[in-house]
Amino acid sequence: MDILILGGGVSGLASALALTKFAPEGLIPKIQIFEIRPVPATIGGAVNLTPNALRLLDRLGALQIIRDRNYGETINVLDIFDVYSGKLAESSFLGPDGKGLGDPPYKALRITRGDALKGVLAAIEKHPNITLTCGKRTTKIEETDSSVTLTFEDGTTATGDILLGCDGIHSVARLQHVEPERKAIYSGVSNAFGFAPLRDNLEVHFDCTAINFARRGMLLTSWHEPTRKSVYVGALMQVPDIGSRDGWKAAGADQAKIKSDILERFATDSVLPAIAPLVEDAQDFYLWPVFTLTKGGKWATERTMLLGDAAHAMPPQGEATGIVFEDTVLFARSLMRWVELGKPETMKWAFDKYELLRRARIEVAFDESQSVITAVSDAGWLGYRIKTLVIPWFIWWSRQHRDKNFIEDVTTSELGF
């Protein structure tokens, strides 16, 4: 089987690893990954890899590489603060015996997107059936009853049995082929993030990582590497739509204004003394408008499947990377089960089985992500006070639901076919 993948980010690379791992013996597919950028993008903020995400990275052969290279910092507990009064609650990854969640147990890992990508790229290099070609801009996608052909800007083409669109929220696979009318929508919030070198003698208010709520947004402060000499600082906040790519670039270039805005939102009247110096010292703030897709949508044609943000981009809700990894593994298992069963009917049969397994989980996650938009939107004092009273109760009430997701192992779960 020849498989084409658009997108050389974590989603595309993890898909290639999963398809290789779950292929029947002697039927390892040939996989070609095409990335639009001249090199894989190793820039970006720091993501939280939850226990389920780490479990899948381990199964795919990337986690040990990440550990051997000392990428990221282990997260035992996520602390939640009100900047005006102090700690509200915490969400633990320690599990019943302090070792983590699941069997075998995993905690969480805060890691830069770049380091996570490097770890997965290193795992890819161990598989000769997988190739990654950068600098390939797709201009045409043609699908027949028996194949899919990509035409690139440089005039070259690639043909395969199947195409996976793992190319993010502005997916070419979706916009040119699967569902052109389903375009990205600005969510109303933006993420401004940077990395702050730790000042001498500065005492932070968190052990591993913290969400700091204020009336006008949420500020994440977290260790992201084992020396703990640098703190990731990310502000998720309501920002009016600027309306154009150039406009967002111009806004992001005004570092002084970004810092001033974040300080006003989170340091004014704060009882957390580390907030102001961390924001002041954060370097190269990047302003990232959060775009989303509408709920539902079309994920597939007869031979093309969208995975990750290309299919269901949603606002950040704490498990986004884990959800992408689950997509890749469940799709790979569904496709390879179809192969094991002798390829009943058409390839769309496997696609439909995957969607049956996946849609409900994505719909729940999408609904949860909408509550994040509400939580970080501007609020008056009364509304904010009510929110701070609800947060501890919500963390307690939702713990079993979170732990269930963290413990689940989609590499061994029942497919039902």
Please report, for the domain that includes residue 319, its CATH number. 3.50.50.60
Is 141 a domain residue?
A: yes
The answer to whether residues 166 and 250 belong to one domain is no
Is 139 a domain residue?
A: yes
- By residue range, what is the domain housing residue 38? 2-184+293-407
The answer to whether residues 326 and 222 belong to one domain is no
Q: Given this model, what pLDDT does residue 318 score?
A: 74
Is 211 a domain residue?
A: no
The answer to whether residues 302 and 260 belong to one domain is no
The answer to whether residues 89 and 164 belong to one domain is yes
* Percentage of residues in the chain having pLDDT higher than 70: 100
Q: What is the pLDDT of residues 277-325, one digit of tens each?
A: 999 999 988 999 999 999 999 999 999 999 999 999 998 877 888 999 9
The answer to whether residues 263 and 257 touch, using CB atoms and an 8 Å cutoff, is no
The answer to whether residues 299 and 275 belong to one domain is no
Mean confidence (pLDDT) of the chain: 95
The answer to whether residues 13 and 121 touch, using CB atoms and an 8 Å cutoff, is yes
Q: Is the pLDDT of residue 222 over 90?
A: yes
The answer to whether residues 144 and 276 belong to one domain is no
The answer to whether residues 131 and 257 belong to one domain is no
Q: Given this model, what pLDDT does residue 244 score?
A: 85
For residue 348, the surrounding DSSP H or E stretch is: helix 347-376
Q: Given this model, what pLDDT does residue 66 score?
A: 98
Q: How confident is the model at residue 155 (pLDDT cuts 50, 70, 90)?
A: very high
Is 57 a domain residue?
A: yes
Mean pLDDT of 217-231: 97
Q: How confident is the model at residue 120 (pLDDT cuts 50, 70, 90)?
A: very high
The answer to whether residues 159 and 251 belong to one domain is no
Q: Given this model, what pLDDT does residue 319 score?
A: 80
The answer to whether residues 273 and 310 belong to one domain is no
Domain limit, last residue, from 268, 292, 316: 292
Q: Given this model, what pLDDT does residue 70 score?
A: 97
Mean pLDDT of 154-159: 97
Q: Given this model, what pLDDT does residue 247 score?
A: 92
Domain limit, last residue, from 267, 292, 317: 292
Residue 240: asked if its preceding bond is cis (omega within 30°), the reply is no
Number of independent structural domains in the chain: 2
Is 382 a domain residue?
A: yes
Domain limit, last residue, from 271, 292, 313: 292
- What is the length of the chain? 417
Q: Which two tokens stand for residue 283?
A: 């370097």
For residue 44, what is the DSSP state?
S
The answer to whether residues 252 and 368 belong to one domain is no
Q: Given this model, what pLDDT does residue 35 score?
A: 97
The answer to whether residues 14 and 148 belong to one domain is yes
The answer to whether residues 254 and 308 belong to one domain is no
Is 263 a domain residue?
A: yes
Is 167 a domain residue?
A: yes
Q: What is the pLDDT of residues 9-63, one digit of tens each?
A: 999 999 999 999 999 999 999 999 999 999 987 778 999 999 999 999 999 999 9
The answer to whether residues 193 and 156 touch, using CB atoms and an 8 Å cutoff, is no
Is 180 a domain residue?
A: yes
